[in-house]
Structure formats: C-alpha cells, structure tokens
Amino acid sequence: MHTKERALLCAAYALEKKATNVRLLDVRGLSSLTDYLLIASGRSDRQVQAVAESVHLGLKKEHATLPLGIEGTQEGRWILIDYGDVMVHVFQEPVREFYDLDGLWSEAAEVAIPEEYHWEKKVAR
C-alpha cells in the first residue's frame, strides 16, 4: 500500500466515527519523521478514543497494517498513532488548539480528502 493511500484510509476511518476538523497534511520535505500528518478532533475523551480505535482496527483488520506505536489512549485527550510514514493525531478540541499542530505545520500542503468520506456531507443530503 502506498503512503498516501494509507493516509487517506486513516482519514476515512477517523471520519467513520464522526471526527471533526479532519486535515491531512503532506509534510514530505518539511519533516524527516513522517510523510503525512492526519489531524482530527473529537468532542469528548470517548469520541477521541473511538476515532483512534477506528483507525487502528480498520488498518489492522482490513489492511494487515499495525502501528509502530500508540500513545494517549487511556486519557483520550490526545492520541497519537504512529505508522512511520503516517502519523495520526486525534485531539479533544481545546487540546488541539493549545498545541496548535495546524499552525506549526502551516507550510505543509493540505491533501484533499474525498467527499464520500465526509460524514458531514452525508448528513446534509
């Protein structure tokens, strides 16, 4: 599986649990740690945990892909899932605002997430 495809799958699995403010950033050339950052929010610790679990189990069960590490699952305020070439950050919104990864990576190109993945657009129809 190509890196960008894995990153888009992470976005799809996050959006399945109604993650909000989901952004996929291409940080190749800006970071030596990873190629893509997925940043998403949840409204509560439970939702943050559910979003992270959806990403983890979706890639594990459907694509036989395991992360290198997962941090923050107990608290559910900020969960990091590291796939090496893709890093997934799921935040409660106040924590996301405080750490401001969106601002930190403002130079990164944003990758369009296909419309069919967005639950907000499905609800509006």
User: DSSP per residue over 31-79, as a string?
Assistant: BSS-SEEEEEEESSHHHHHHHHHHHHHHHHHHH----SEEE-TTT-SEE
Indicate whether this model's pTM tops 0.85. Answer: yes
pLDDT of residue 115: 87
**If DSSP codes are grouped into helix, strand and coil, which group holds residue 87?**
strand
pLDDT tens string for the chain (125 positions)? 799 999 999 999 999 999 999 999 999 999 999 999 999 999 999 999 999 999 999 999 999 999 999 999 999 999 999 999 999 999 999 999 999 999 999 999 999 999 888 766 554 44
pLDDT of residue 125: 46
